[in-house]
Amino acid sequence: MGVASWYGVPFHGRASSSGEIYDMEQMTAAHRTLPFGTWVRVHDLDNNRAVDVRINDRGPFVDGRIIDLSHAAARTLEMIGPGTANVRLEILSQPAAVGPALFAVQVGAFANRDNAERLRRVMEADYGSARLVKRADSLGLWRVLVGRELTQDGAAGLLRRIRGEHQSIKTAFVVRLDSV
């Protein structure tokens, strides 16, 4: 359970993390760690509506949110006006041929590359592995990713360690590395 949000313009027509062109009128969604091609039923806990979406993008990159829905999916849940909804996710199916996953912790996203590089250097010194990633769908943001964990639990442990040792990093979260 958690909070869903939705996204449309200016992402419409841009490449998603999976490489597909994002169409905000299709039943798709962004999730931080589920494999691309996973079908999820999103249950709105406030109005009892539900919608089935296919994961084809990464996000949401806002702390406290668990899924970013396309405009069409958000319209089905009647959440366009409020912008967010309390939801529960139900995995319907996952692709059969999903390769081994790697996970990391995103500790920041910056419009200024120099700021991102400063944080990357600190994280690399403390945790051994940190890199900058700039993707076409990020609207010019440089993401700072730490670690290369074999499991989501391993990445969650790294996240707890980072939050414990760097109190200024409040919005870090685990991401799947198949799209970076």
- Domains of the chain are 2-93 (2.40.40.10), 103-179 (3.30.70.1070)
Residue closest to 177 by CA, chosen among 157, 153, 158, 155:
155
The CA distance from 50 to 61, in Å, is 23
User: Once rounded to an integer, what is the mean pLDDT over residues 4-16?
Assistant: 87
Residue 114 zone, left/alpha/beta (φ > 0; ψ -120 to 50; rest): alpha
Cα radius of gyration rounded to whole Å, the chain:
16
137, two tokens: 């769908």
Scanning the structure block, which residue is given the tokens 């405009």?
71
- Local structure of 163: helix, strand or coil: helix
Angle between the 113-127 and 152-165 helix axes, to the nearest 10 degrees? 100
The CA distance from 81 to 70, in Å, is 14
pTM: 0.76
The predicted pLDDT at position 180 comes to: 45
Under the banding of pLDDT at 50, 70 and 90, the label for residue 29 is: very high
The predicted pLDDT at position 58 comes to: 87
